[in-house]
Structure formats: C-alpha cells, structure tokens
Chain A
C-alpha cells in the first residue's frame, strides 16, 4: 500500500534554532513530493515541491526540503525558526504514473517557543 509517514506528532523548537520535520514515503513509482502548512481554522498552503533535479528544494517563508531517494525521505528544514512558523505541517506524495489525489501524512505540529 502506498503511504506517507510523519513519525513525529509534534516537534518543539526554540526560536532562532534550526528545525527539521521528518517525512518518509512508500509508493510504487518515483513520486512528486510536496509540503503544505496549515494554520488554525485555515486550509492547507503549499510550501514547496520536488519534481526532479537538485535534491535540495527551496520554498516559501525560508523553508527547504531535502529529497533522499535511497532513504525515501523528504524532510522539511529551516535554518532559523520563527514563532510564526508554529503550525501543522503535512507531507504529501503523488506517484508519477497516477492521476489525481495526493497521499498525505498525518501531519506534524510544529511549536516554536520564544
């Protein structure tokens, strides 16, 4: 079965420190990979995606993600966390041969404390 795993329900970081939110996937085809952020009572906002090429992808709000094919991982990173980064983060994949929906992880709550 195709799936996405976000092993941490919550990540706590001090403001100014680097952050990592982990994601691993299991899909049958080389997937497209996405990260989304959700603030309270809002929909999901697109942060970044990996299609092909450079394994380090840069996205919105200073976030970046590193694709690792051998480990089937796509971890989200930011060099210096802000309190305003506190939100729910979702990793999602779509197999290249598929049509339609994204497969989402269960989400990781990021809490950045001053």
Chain B
C-alpha cells in the first residue's frame, strides 16, 4: 500500500524566501507529526496533529514556522523568511492513533537547503 508521501524531495531556496513542504499521510491515519533532522543530530520534534484536536506546536523553533492540516489528511509545513540554520531534512510521519504504542510511519523527507 501507499506510504507517507512528501514533496518536494529536495528544495533549494535563497535566504529570506518562504517555503512550503507537503505531507500526505497514510490513508486513515489520524495522527501526523513533523520532525527536523539536522546533520549529526537526532530528530527534533516540531508539531503534532491528532484528528480534530488543537495541534501540539511545542516543538516549533520560532514564529517563522507554522503548519496546518486540512481535512484531517494532507499537511503543509511553512517556513517564512528562511535562514541558513533552517537547512535540514524535514520528515513527516503518521500513525493510526496518537499517544499509543503504535509505531510512526515516516516519509522519505524533504531536503531543504538555504543559500
């Protein structure tokens, strides 16, 4: 079956530009997560959506970062006025139910490079 799909796979942009990253979770998965993976670092949690509940935004590093999830499915992570330190791989994951023992299923990520 289809897994988690992320687009674009690679994005190169100039400092100061806005970028949008897209995530299509596995059909029927109610929980959706965004993580950031920087070189030599582990995965840094950004934001978590569960069904129609208010998202957990506690991991967003600054107010330049925002995310939305439309219709309980597709999610978009937006970074405004990008900085060089935003360069990283952005990973999206989904799972059938949040806050449980279910593993998360990851997409292949978007590799973001800020020039």
In contact, B105 and A46 (Cβ under 8 angstroms): yes
In the complex, what residues of B have CB within 8 A of residue A102's CB? Answer: 33, 43, 45, 104
**B70 contacts chain A at the CB level, 8 A cutoff:** no
Given contacts A100-B48, A102-B33, A103-B45, 13 further A-B contacts (CB under 8 A): A34-B103, A43-B106, A49-B103, A92-B43, A99-B48, A99-B50, A100-B31, A100-B45, A101-B33, A101-B48, A101-B59, A102-B43, A104-B35
CB distance from B28 to the nearest CB of A (A): 17
| CA gap between A108 and B91 in the complex, in Å | 18
Shortest Cβ distance from residue B30 to the other chain A in the assembled complex, whole angstroms: 12
Among the interface residues B41, B42, B50, B111, which one has the most CB atoms of the partner chain A within 10 A?
B42
- Total A-B pairs, Cβ < 8 A: 64
Near B by CB (< 8 A), chain A positions 18-44 give 32, 34, 36, 41-44
Residue on A nearest B99 in the bound complex, by CB:
A99
Q: Mark B38-55, 1 if CB is under 8 A from A, else 0.
A: 001111010010100000
B108 part of interface (Cβ distance < 8 Å): yes
Chain B residues within 8 Å of chain A by Cβ, number:
26
Q: Report the separation of the CA atoms of residues A33 and B10 in the bound assembly, to the nearest whole angstrom.
A: 31
Q: Which residues of A contact B111 (CB under 8 A)?
A: 41
Contact A107 B42 (CB under 8 A): yes
**B101, CB-defined interface residue at 8 Å:** yes
A100 near B98 with CB under 8 A, answer yes
Chain A residues closer than 8 Å to B99, beta-carbon distance: 98-100
A83 close to chain B: CB less than 8 A: no
Task: Give min CB distance, A54 to chain B, whole Å.
Answer: 15
A100 and B33 contacting across the interface, CB-CB below 8 Å: yes
Q: Which B residues are in CB contact (< 8 Å) with A105?
A: 42
Interface residue ranges of A58-104 to B (CB < 8 Å): 90, 92, 94, 98-104
Whether B42 lies near A90 (C-beta < 8 A) is yes
How far does the Cβ of A58 sit from chain B's closest Cβ, in whole Å?
15
Contact in complex: A43, B91 (CB < 8 Å): yes
Distance (Å) between the CB of B102 and the closest chain A CB? 9
The one of B50, B91, B108 that contacts A100, using a Cβ cutoff of 8 Å:
B50
